[in-house]
Amino acid sequence: MPTKKKDVKRIDTTIQTLGPAKIPSNMPYCRFMEDSAATQVNFAEDLDDGASASQTLKLELAGPRKNTYFDPSKTKCAIVTCGGLCPGINDVIRAIVMEAHHNYNVAATLGIRYGLQGFIPKYGHPIEELTPRSVSDIHMFGGTILGSSRGPQPADEIVDALERMNISVLFLIGGDGTMQAAASLLKEIQDRNLKISVIGIPKTIDNDINFIYQSFGFDTAVEASTIAINCAHTEATGAYNGIGMVKLMGRESGFIAAQASLALKVVNFVLVPEAPFTLEGEGGLLEGLERRLADRGHAVIVVAEGAGQDISKTSGETDASGNPILGDICTVLRREIKAHFERKGIEHTLKFIDPSYIIRSVPANANDRVYCGFLGQHAVHAAMSGKTGMVISKMRGHFIHLPLHLVTGQRRRINIGSDYWRSVLESTGQFLYMSSCFG
Amino acid sequence: MPTKKKDVKRIDTTIQTLGPAKIPSNMPYCRFMEDSAATQVNFAEDLDDGASASQTLKLELAGPRKNTYFDPSKTKCAIVTCGGLCPGINDVIRAIVMEAHHNYNVAATLGIRYGLQGFIPKYGHPIEELTPRSVSDIHMFGGTILGSSRGPQPADEIVDALERMNISVLFLIGGDGTMQAAASLLKEIQDRNLKISVIGIPKTIDNDINFIYQSFGFDTAVEASTIAINCAHTEATGAYNGIGMVKLMGRESGFIAAQASLALKVVNFVLVPEAPFTLEGEGGLLEGLERRLADRGHAVIVVAEGAGQDISKTSGETDASGNPILGDICTVLRREIKAHFERKGIEHTLKFIDPSYIIRSVPANANDRVYCGFLGQHAVHAAMSGKTGMVISKMRGHFIHLPLHLVTGQRRRINIGSDYWRSVLESTGQFLYMSSCFG
Amino acid sequence: MPTKKKDVKRIDTTIQTLGPAKIPSNMPYCRFMEDSAATQVNFAEDLDDGASASQTLKLELAGPRKNTYFDPSKTKCAIVTCGGLCPGINDVIRAIVMEAHHNYNVAATLGIRYGLQGFIPKYGHPIEELTPRSVSDIHMFGGTILGSSRGPQPADEIVDALERMNISVLFLIGGDGTMQAAASLLKEIQDRNLKISVIGIPKTIDNDINFIYQSFGFDTAVEASTIAINCAHTEATGAYNGIGMVKLMGRESGFIAAQASLALKVVNFVLVPEAPFTLEGEGGLLEGLERRLADRGHAVIVVAEGAGQDISKTSGETDASGNPILGDICTVLRREIKAHFERKGIEHTLKFIDPSYIIRSVPANANDRVYCGFLGQHAVHAAMSGKTGMVISKMRGHFIHLPLHLVTGQRRRINIGSDYWRSVLESTGQFLYMSSCFG
Amino acid sequence: MPTKKKDVKRIDTTIQTLGPAKIPSNMPYCRFMEDSAATQVNFAEDLDDGASASQTLKLELAGPRKNTYFDPSKTKCAIVTCGGLCPGINDVIRAIVMEAHHNYNVAATLGIRYGLQGFIPKYGHPIEELTPRSVSDIHMFGGTILGSSRGPQPADEIVDALERMNISVLFLIGGDGTMQAAASLLKEIQDRNLKISVIGIPKTIDNDINFIYQSFGFDTAVEASTIAINCAHTEATGAYNGIGMVKLMGRESGFIAAQASLALKVVNFVLVPEAPFTLEGEGGLLEGLERRLADRGHAVIVVAEGAGQDISKTSGETDASGNPILGDICTVLRREIKAHFERKGIEHTLKFIDPSYIIRSVPANANDRVYCGFLGQHAVHAAMSGKTGMVISKMRGHFIHLPLHLVTGQRRRINIGSDYWRSVLESTGQFLYMSSCFG
């Protein structure tokens, strides 16, 4: 299976700094990380895109440095959370506050309410100080105690607010758009020649941020998804020719659907945006489903919401201007499955489950909590040492610093030529019924 | 608040038998129940319908009798599960099989596949023998290992099958329709003068079967619902003027919505079929919601699927003949809330969660497992002693026998004049915002 | 099976009041309960002690009254939590605070820290005001936010504190000892001719309080216990002749052990304080266990900590004065089982699990949350209407008022002649292996 | 902090084969792995032992090969599970059976009962064939459906059994001892010149197998541990000067204790075998605990069972010969803490929780299920291509083949000079109270 050749462009992994870190760290105990500490990864191998030209990246390791750039006693930090919810946001907030307070003794950490809106005076959202006491239990709750909002706000107004509040470090927890906003802020800050560090902690329920192998909250979301899938399986086996269908998040990348299918071995068909498929005809879903029911009497289908865009597009509905409306794929599938089996006179039952926000609003599980704790700690380490314009990531077991520009712009997607996707197909066995899933 | 006067008709609680139980029980250990043992309940008080005339019912207590009607060594039992899934069905199946095998040593217990269809030859579903070994772990799974189906099948064909398989006892696990089918079978059996006992174990996820205070699986369904509600609350607080809406099962009775609201104290509005409400104007939901958001910045709404039928009916959509289409209440509410706040220029975010089958397909929790275990044991005790045309129920802490006719025909609904509903309103505080909820 | 004859003493169910309730309730919405509303229960039948003489008790129903005794705007309430933890304490605290604030608008509700110590100046524990905001999320946590302590404190010092703080209503959440302390406080209050209402909410993880059918938190504790039992079963089946043993709370009453065994059908032997058993010889546990292993290759034993006191007493260990030391029953059982099988040359593996505080420190499940919500609401209703010297209980589905004296002094225990215990034995099947369990 | 210098011995990563793989794979769909595919890891960096000399290892990548060595239609596989339980064993069994059956169509997969005993005729354990149907639901259960046992069995008798049963591939799921047994079997097989592949899937609840970064089941065990820790925290905060102590598995390596402390941020002291500490005096646990209680009023201590061996050794107890008895560290700690605070006249409460087997007997969580699925698939791929004397491992995100000799002999332990341990200390903050924890 050939994969498309990518342009080989030199990837720059240099991390910016506000200036040399000269103040000896007052951390009470520490095995410090050498500032130049780095790990090397082979881009081609480690990023699973087998066909592109290989290059070796040197990535700066995260961790506490012997010297800080900021004087902790005069440093005010701010945290803002943007975009959709994700398990573990509160864990990251808590880790930042605890690290900044206990290990660096910063002057204060402020919580910005409702995303970037919180910086804009006209919204009137209050700013609140976050203390170890106020955040001590927040990891028991899903969501974000700060509230969130979508969409950008003017970079100049935000930087005005940072200046007004005398903030030295801004932590942004958010997705692709937020990381782009962070880049705009960085530019505005540099234009004003301010000494404000901008650190991102990338967040995406879909696990689709570039260079982030597994985003925080993903493991929890997968675990939560398995409950819905298990129920779909129970419903499927509870009826003659029972079909259980589960819709999971994933507009452009089907990681949740794929991983949940690996975790719960009852899935027979998993449909993701990366792997186009056909409905009709030999090798299509309908005929495959029919054969599966004939063989086993039930079937479970997991659908990432962005799967089969070409199919939902051509569903015949048009808008006022006569343009095809992008339908909901599950609505299309349910209608077509029903029609197919009625046409064939085959009794069947289809139960549809859309857990929707349930998989992203639950509290983080133990694994994600550990992960979020590290992200928060390392974000503070990076900021205090004067790094800026970067995000915290984990790659091949190491926490690293990545420049902002690497994580924006392009989405991470399942490589359907990879071992990972092969394992998913091995696990579902769908290739036996539906050859179109090979892409 | 006045409640409607009910007709006072004499309620007959007599249990039918196939004949005198004369064979000494071979149960290895038992404290037997006197055959005449009964408890008395005051119908008016105990069924929470304060206004109806009072009568005292004498109800036969469930439990093992000293003598059996059937000779265990020659007795074949059959179990059939019908209608929608519900947590605990497998627990009841398991309890019946274990009790019949270990304590009565019956010849065999057969599992009928896919509901009443399983009796009808044309469907070709296999019959399988259920043994302690084959059912030992099934309580770990939701759903029914036998499969289920909806709808009636010809009583004569079913009784033909019972005769053909030489079945002495039929256990039916199902809802209102199944209990009506049981009544038809009973009549056919009596017409043929057969000695077959028909025992029902009423099942309803909505908790709406008459004379059954709390149906098995209800507690589990409520527990599962609280996860979705908690997520809705997390989403609501995670956005400025965030509204979380959860749709829960309950076509004619809102018990799940009401009980889940009591269990998770974050619900601000609970809408059930029993309590009509208005959308527009003073005391309506929209204005109440607006005031709630103004006060607290977020709101959680729990909606039983059958709530507000008059509102969804008058939503303006009509079918080809111009008749109003009964809309989905949550679709209507989401549209109207959006329109209302847009009209008012109030920023808001609404997140909708429909856990649908998730709340009914999960395995039973500990409480329901205990309950289902008793239901299964008592069903076998009743059958072996020759009782027929009855169901097992629990009332005021006692397991009792109820004639089939009492549990069919009429649905149990929340009495909105009751202490129970008052407590729900106290818990949500919705009366402060929405006077129309008083019904 | 004969049960011991109890003395038939007239049971007085009269509830004391501080005086006539004359102030119209300011509850914003309410269907009020008639002050004289009562339910009747047959003591003999409803309390499951079949042998005692029967008497019918008239029990006052809980609920809001049309008139209050206290003027809410001048009423300060206090809550104190005593004794060991139990799931749901925070739910009761929350419900009291919410009800007192939202529905009665009382002046304040104070939280007393660390049990009755919190009233005694020398301990120096701070008093904190409990507000809807401060308690809004506490139901997500196990334990008690107020802290607890064991043991009595001088009644006069406590009443001094109540006077000093101008408290009108004291809610005590605690066990048998706490209810006795409540009675002492009541006496001291009456001696001083004060108008302070004393309301108890009985708490016991062992479910052993008289006249309380199922204490709050019990259902959650049982659910938590099933996890440990399931693990014991997994360990037992994972080894040849594997034995899994689980120790559960229950010093004098084995309700948790019994109920958890009913909930998780994998238990083969359940040992409770109420049902003496023998270790050695025919019908003893050792021989029964040996036969069970021979039959099935594994066994699960659930032991209430107070089971087999005669056995652990006679374990041969003596203290300095030569008196027998009351051993830990599980230590004795593990030693004796090991010795028995080694003597017989039978390979076996025994895995012991003591979940200890895990079953009582978890947050309440949905069922207990609903229950605790009602307890808190009804406690406030009772107090505001001027009732005193009473506790809230639930009997046969009704929330009722019980005089303090009824719930103290005597423990509730499993009636081993009851249907309930018979069902436990049916469920474990232990009578097949161990005839001594019949008591 | 200096770490000990290790001998630099050349590490041989060559994988043995039974012979060239020449039979074209009949896998229905596959993106095959080049046989020579390998990843490179830097031993020094990737194994976190900063001080040892660096060498780059070339590690063979796991995955399906284009050609198989064995003819599937004539290949019988066997699976044996040894040693203590661990979450995910059933998942690995299931994955092996499914992969061998569906993707290779092997003749049969046999399940060996109760560990290596299952091969030895005198034990008389039956062999059972494992089919997709018989294993389809086993991942829902903890433990191992095959049963397990400890200890070695004669290699020649085992190989006799393999020959007798005509087994071509033996999968061993077990710990350090089992991998040593696998090495002995390999030798015996080679001495007899047999063509039997021996593949190990390393299992350890303590996460202490060399070259295995995270063993399967570890994540689940950590998650289960957090429940106990949370309860300890609830108990600690529920009493004045409350101390919650939790004992967790980990005889020689404290990974579970460390990771669970990272996951649940309520732990104040974590004690592991790798980091010696003192009880008495400045910087000792007792004084640190006293200061912590003075500061915060409660404390949570997590203890790996192998922590403080020097302390428990010197507890004063001696055996018959006068040698010091290695005490249980938690018994010692509880006694010393009690004595310390009584001596100082400081009121305190200590609650001890030992979840013991609960953390290892639960079913695997989603993350471990995915992991176990891959382990099983890759084990089959390796075996079918003729590899032998190896185990499946995951390193830096890649599944790889490791020679058996690398994973035996030496235990993996926490490097207390590592970033990982620093993060644990940052998270607990124990260095503020107890300087002796630096090792």
pLDDT, tens digit (0-9, with 9 covering 90-100), for D97-115: 999 999 999 999 999 999 9
Residue D7 lies in a domain: no
Computed over every residue of chain B, the mean pLDDT equals 90
- D305 and D392 housed in the same domain: no
Q: Which residues of B touch D139 (CB under 8 A)?
A: none
- C226 and C302 housed in the same domain: yes
Q: Which residues of D touch B137 (CB under 8 A)?
A: 137, 141
Dihedral sign of CA atoms A60, A66, A71, A72 in order: positive
Q: Over 90: is that where the pLDDT of B284 sits?
A: yes
pLDDT at C4: 45
- D140 and D239 housed in the same domain: no
Q: Residue C335's domain is classified under what CATH number?
A: 3.40.50.460
D259 contacts chain A (CB < 8 A): yes
B413 to chain D nearest CA, in Å? 37
- B234 and B328 housed in the same domain: yes
Closest partner residue to A31 (CB to CB) among D1, D262, D263 is D1
Closest partner residue to D361 (CB to CB) among C113, C234, C352 is C234
A117 contacts chain B (CB < 8 A): yes
Q: Over 50: is that where the pLDDT of D2 sits?
A: no
A357 contacts chain C (CB < 8 A): no
Phi and psi of B242, rounded to 5°?
Answer: -80, 135
**pLDDT beneath 70: ranges in chain C:** 1-9, 42-54, 314-326, 436-439
- A126 and A166 housed in the same domain: yes
Residue by residue, what is the 3-state secondary structure of chain B?
CCCCCCCCCCCCCCCEECCCCCEECCCCCCCCCCCCCEEEEEHHHHCCCCCCCCCEEEEEECCCCCEECCCHHHCEEEEEECCCCCCCHHHHHHHHHHHHHHHCCCCEEEECCCHHHHHCHHHCCCCEEECHHHHCCHHHCCCCCCCECCCCCCHHHHHHHHHHCCCCEEEEEECHHHHHHHHHHHHHHHHCCCCCEEEEEECCCCCCECCCCCCCCHHHHHHHHHHHHHHHHHHHHCECCEEEEEEECCCCCCHHHHHHHHHCCCCCEEECCCCCCCCCCCCCHHHHHHHHHHHHCEEEEEEECCCCHHHHHCCCCECCCCCECCCCHHHHHHHHHHHHHHHHCCCCEEEEEECCCHHHHCCCCHHHHHHHHHHHHHHHHHHHCCEECEEEEEECCEEEEEEHHHHCCCECCCCCCCHHHHHHHHHHCHHHCCHHHHC
Q: Which two tokens stand for residue B341?
A: 């706040």
In this predicted model, which residue has the larger pLDDT, B146 or A405?
Answer: B146
Q: Over 60: is that where the pLDDT of D307 sits?
A: yes
- D194 and D122 housed in the same domain: yes
B260 contacts chain C (CB < 8 A): yes
pLDDT at B3: 42
Contact D419 A102 (CB under 8 A): no
C339 contacts chain A (CB < 8 A): no
Domain that holds residue D242: 219-361+417-432
- B44 and B166 housed in the same domain: yes
Number of Cβ within 10 Å of residue D108's Cβ equals 17
Q: Which residues of C touch A141 (CB under 8 A)?
A: 137, 140
**Average pLDDT score over residue span D10-25:** 91
Residue C2 lies in a domain: no
Name the residues of D annotated as catalytic.
206
- A90 and A168 housed in the same domain: yes
A20 to chain D nearest CA, in Å? 23
C227 contacts chain D (CB < 8 A): yes
DSSP state of C318: B
Residue A2 lies in a domain: no
Residue A320 buriedness (CB in 10 A; 0-12 / 13-18 / 19+): exposed
Instruction: Name the active-site residue from A176, A206, A208, A219.
Output: A206
Q: Which residues of C touch D228 (CB under 8 A)?
A: 358
Give tens-digit pLDDT for A239-276: 999 999 999 999 989 999 999 999 988 999 999 999 99
Give tens-digit pLDDT for B93-130: 999 999 999 999 999 999 999 999 999 999 999 999 99
Contact C240 D353 (CB under 8 A): no
Q: Calculate the alpha carbon distances from D68 to C170, D26, D381, D385 in Å.
A: 78, 9, 9, 4
pLDDT at D315: 54
Q: Over 50: is that where the pLDDT of B335 sits?
A: yes
Q: What is the dihedral of CA D49, D54, D56, D62, to 10 degrees?
A: -10
Q: pTM for the full model?
A: 0.93
Place of tokens 């108990």: D235
pLDDT at B186: 97
A45: closest chain D residue by CA: D39
pLDDT at C357: 97
pLDDT at A3: 43
Give tens-digit pLDDT for C361-406: 999 999 999 999 999 999 999 999 999 999 999 987 889 999 999 8
- A186 and A166 housed in the same domain: yes
Residue B9 lies in a domain: no
- D166 and D241 housed in the same domain: no
pLDDT at D77: 98
A136 contacts chain C (CB < 8 A): no
pLDDT at D10: 74
Q: Residue D127's domain is classified under what CATH number?
A: 3.40.50.450
C420 contacts chain A (CB < 8 A): no
Q: Which residues of B touch D140 (CB under 8 A)?
A: 140-141
End-to-end CA distance of chain C: 9
Give tens-digit pLDDT for D278-305: 999 988 999 999 999 999 999 999 999 9
Contact C357 D148 (CB under 8 A): no
Contact B265 C429 (CB under 8 A): no
In this predicted model, which residue has the larger pLDDT, B53 or D114?
Answer: D114
Interface test with C, best of B61, B248, B422, B426 (most C CBs within 10 A): B426
Residue D130 lies in a domain: yes
Closest partner residue to C262 (CB to CB) among B1, B213, B370 is B370
Q: Over 80: is that where the pLDDT of B437 sits?
A: no
pLDDT at B236: 98
pLDDT at B400: 93
In this predicted model, which residue has the larger pLDDT, D312 or C20?
Answer: C20
**Average pLDDT score over residue span D36-54:** 58
Q: Over 80: is that where the pLDDT of D42 sits?
A: no
Contact D39 A45 (CB under 8 A): yes
User: Structurally, how many domains does chain D consist of?
Assistant: 2
A137 contacts chain D (CB < 8 A): no
Q: Which residues of B touch A356 (CB under 8 A)?
A: 351-354
Rounded CA gap, D67 and D35, in Å?
9
**pLDDT beneath 50: ranges in chain A:** 1-6, 48-53, 439
D27 to chain C nearest CA, in Å? 34
A360 contacts chain D (CB < 8 A): no
Give tens-digit pLDDT for D383-418: 999 999 999 999 878 899 999 998 887 788 998 888
Using a pLDDT cut of 70, give the percent of chain B over it: 91
In this predicted model, which residue has the larger pLDDT, A422 or B333?
Answer: B333
- B126 and B158 housed in the same domain: yes
- D160 and D276 housed in the same domain: no
* pLDDT bucket at B310, cuts 50 / 70 / 90: confident
The three-point CA angle C346-C351-C353 to 5° equals 155
Residue C264 lies in a domain: yes
ipTM of the complex: 0.92
Residue D2 lies in a domain: no
Residue D307 lies in a domain: yes
